[in-house]
Amino acid sequence: MILKGSAACASPHRSGSMSRLRLEGNEMNISVKDLFDYKIQAEDGEIGSVSDVLVDDADWTARYLVVDTGGWLFGRKVMIAPVAAREPDAAGKLLPVRLTKQEIKDSPDIASDPPLSRDQEIAYHDHYRWPYYWLGGGNVGFGHADALAEVPLTPLPRSEPEAGSTPPVTEDRDYSLRSVKHLIGQKLLSHDGEIARIADFLLEVDGDIWHAPYLVAELDSNRHVLAPTAAIEKVGWPDQDVLVRLSPELLFGAPDFDETVVRDAMFLGRVRDYYGSHARA
C-alpha cells in the first residue's frame, strides 16, 4: 500500500522543456518511498539512511540524495550526488557509494532543504571533485536522449501565474531543486481542478543518471496510477501543488499501479504505450 506523505513549504518553479521517456534496457526502477528504507554504505562502513531526494524541476533528474547520518554524525544531514553511487542492492536495501566515511565527515556543512545556496553547492562539489551539473557536466540531461514516447498534453492554454505564486528573487539560491519528500502528499491539479494526490515518485536508475519519469497519483484510497513528470506544467509556490497538462479522463484511464509492478518492465511498457498512444491520437 502506498501511503500519503506530509506537506511542507517549497521553492519556486523553473520552467523547462518537456522530457522524453525510456523504460527499457539496463536501468533499475525504485520508488522514492522504498528508497527511504535504504542504508548508505561508504567504502569503509555504513553512514546512515536516505531521508530525501532533491530533483531538478526542469527535467526531473535527481541531483542529490539526502542522508540522515543518525548517531554517527549526531544527526547531521549530508548530500550525495548520484555520480558517487554504485548499483543499488534492492534485496538488501543498501546503496553503496564511492566515498569514505572520512570524506563524508569532512564535507562542508550545507542546508539540505531547497532552495540551496549556490556557493554552498560549489564548495560541496569542489570537496568531492564532482562536476557542476548546472554547467552541463555530469549527472545531467533528461534521463535518456533516445526516448521512445512523447508525453501527451491536453490542448489547454497555460494559465498565468497567480499573485503570490512567484518566489522571492534571490540570485545566489538554486530554486530549481525540489524536495521529493515535500512534494509527496501535495495536490495534483489539472486545469479543471484537483484530480489526485501525489503518493510517490518512481526513480529510474541508469548508471549515474537518476531520473524520475513518473509520479504516483493517488486517485482514491484504493487506486493509484502513474503520471509522467514530463507533463508537469507548474509547481506552485509556496504550496507546492502540482499542475499537469493531462485531462482527468486521461489520468483515470491509465493502468492501475501498485508496489508489486515497480520493476515490471511489461507493466511500465504498457504505461508508456498508453500515454504515447494518446499523444499520437
| pLDDT at 157 > cutoff 90 | no
CA 221 to chain CA mean position, Å: 23
Q: What is the mean pLDDT of the chain?
A: 82
Strand 242-244 vs strand 187-190: parallel, antiparallel, or unpaired?
parallel
At 192-226, the pLDDT tens digits run 999 999 999 999 999 999 999 999 999 998 999 99
Block residue for cell numbers 540531461: 141
For position 13, what pLDDT does the model report? 37
**Annotated domain spans of the chain:** 32-135
What average pLDDT does range 53-78 have in this prediction? 95
Q: Please, which residues bridge with residue 235 across strands?
A: 242
Q: Is the pTM of this model over 0.85?
A: no
For position 49, what pLDDT does the model report? 97
Range with the poorest average pLDDT among 64-78, 129-143, 181-195? 129-143
At 107-137, the pLDDT tens digits run 999 888 888 999 999 999 999 999 999 998 5
Question: Taken in order 5, 65, 61, 261, is the CA torsion positive or negative?
Answer: negative
**Phi and psi (nearest 5°) for 199?**
-100, -25
Q: Please, which residues bridge with residue 78 across strands?
A: 67
Cα distance between residue 255 and residue 214, in whole Å: 13
Cα distance between residue 163 and residue 24, in whole Å: 42
Block residue for cell numbers 495536490: 187
**Phi and psi (nearest 5°) for 247?**
-75, 155
- The residue among 241 and 7 whose pLDDT is bigger is 241
| pLDDT at 91 > cutoff 70 | yes
H helices of 146-264, in order, are 180-183, 248-252
For position 17, what pLDDT does the model report? 33
Cα distance between residue 243 and residue 239, in whole Å: 12
Q: Which CATH superfamily is domain 32-135 in?
A: Photosynthetic Reaction Center, subunit H, domain 2 (3.90.50.10)
Cα distance between residue 48 and residue 44, in whole Å: 13
Query: pLDDT grade, residue 238 (50/70/90)?
Result: confident
Which candidate, 171, 161, 172, places its Cα nearest to that of 238?
A: 161
Q: Which amino acid is at 261?
A: V
At 242-258, the pLDDT tens digits run 999 999 999 999 999 99
For position 142, what pLDDT does the model report? 34
Question: Taken in order 93, 99, 102, 107, is the CA torsion positive or negative?
Answer: negative
For position 161, what pLDDT does the model report? 40
For position 166, what pLDDT does the model report? 46
| pLDDT at 7 > cutoff 60 | no
What average pLDDT does range 250-278 have in this prediction? 94
At 130-142, the pLDDT tens digits run 999 999 855 543 3
For position 281, what pLDDT does the model report? 52
At 173-184, the pLDDT tens digits run 667 899 999 999
Beta carbons within 10 angstroms of residue 274's beta carbon: 18
For position 111, what pLDDT does the model report? 87
Contact 197, 4 (CB under 8 A): yes
Question: Taken in order 141, 144, 147, 151, is the CA torsion positive or negative?
Answer: negative
Query: pLDDT grade, residue 26 (50/70/90)?
Result: low
Q: How far separated are the first and last CA of the chain, in Å rounded?
A: 33
